[in-house]
Structure 1
Amino acid sequence: MNSTVTCEMHVRLILSSETSLPVPASLRYDTADPYAVHAAFHTGGEDTVDWVFARESLAEGLHRPAGIGDVQVWPSRSHGLDVVCIALTGAEGEALLHAPAKALEAFLKRTDAAVEPGAEHDHLDVDQELSRFLAES
């Protein structure tokens, strides 16, 4: 049986060393897609920017630099608070976000309770994934 873990938080979009904007973010983890965390960043009105992160990279990024390619994650401090920096690079540009480390860690602990790290393969439906992959080709 599939289950979903969700979390609402505010991240900060870093515009410069002195300027940042709060951005509401919705994180979703679905045991049917056990390696991924889906994030929707609410940019105003009905608009969202959606990203998919490797759950393992987010968890590792709480303690040390992680990620490859268009997503880089690392721990830091901002205004005396522990944050996780998330650097995103895409066709439309780049963004640097600061996520509150405690909120992200609490969310990831809940995902670990849903699917223990290292046991993700036990939750994959290989036939469904193969069908989805072939439909996208």
Structure 2
Amino acid sequence: MSGSAEAVQAEVMMSFLVSEELSFRIPVELRYETRDPYAVRLTFHLPGDAPVTWAFGRELLIDGVAGPCGEGDVQVAPAEPDVLGEVLIRLQVGCDHALFRSSAAPLLAFLDRTDKLVPLGQEGALADFDAHLDEALGRILAEEQNAG
């Protein structure tokens, strides 16, 4: 693939759920790039803090809009079971976590645009892992030969 990457970007207002009683709306930038076709990036613009970006699998976001998904640092699920209205995104680092709520509609619109750019299941055509693996193995072998 050439050095230029195509991208899809959107800004979505989400609620940052601090507690059951306290939440506030923040802008979140969603970004998808052909140079990393398996991932989406969400940049959270929290008041008084530098923006924070999380990257995770596009498929996790797609699946999480429809039903609970994710077991690690990122979990996505509908806010209400069997209702496609709002989506919860939980991000966790160690014991700390942050919970965000978004309307499903702008997420689905963003995901639809990513699918038009790179259809789900076609990411491998852009991600030339074999070439990267061959390059890395070649460097390792060259270093070993030079060291020996």
Structure 1's unaligned 5+ residue stretches are none
Q: Post-superposition shift, 1:39?
A: 1.1
- Identify the residue that residue 72 of structure 2 maps to in structure 1: 69
- TM-score of the superposition, structure 2-length normalised? 0.79
Structure 2's unaligned 5+ residue stretches are 140-148
Question: What is the CA RMSD across the aligned residues, in angstroms?
Answer: 2.4
Residues 7-54 of structure 1: per-residue CA shift (max 9 Å, x gap): 001111112223211111101100110100011101125611110121
Q: Tell me if 1:117 matches 2:129.
A: no
- TM-score of the superposition, structure 1-length normalised? 0.85
- Separation of aligned partners in 1, 2:103 and 2:41: 17
Q: Please state which structure has a larger fraction of its residues in strand.
A: 1
- Identify the residue that residue 17 of structure 1 maps to in structure 2: 20
Q: Tell me if 1:48 matches 2:51.
A: yes
Letter in 2 for 1:51: W
Letter in 1 for 2:26: V
Pair member with larger Rg: 2
Question: CA 1:13/1:108 → structure 2, altered by over 3 Å: closer, same or farther?
Answer: same
- Separation of aligned partners in 2, 1:129 and 1:39: 28
Q: Please state which structure has a larger fraction of its residues in helix.
A: 2
Q: Tell me if 1:5 matches 2:8.
A: yes
Q: How many residues align?
A: 131
| Map 1:85-96 → 2, pairs under 5 A | 85-91=88-94, 93-96=96-99
Percent same amino acid at aligned positions?
A: 39
- Separation of aligned partners in 1, 2:76 and 2:32: 18
**Contact in 2 for aligned 1:83/1:99 (Cα 8 Å):** yes
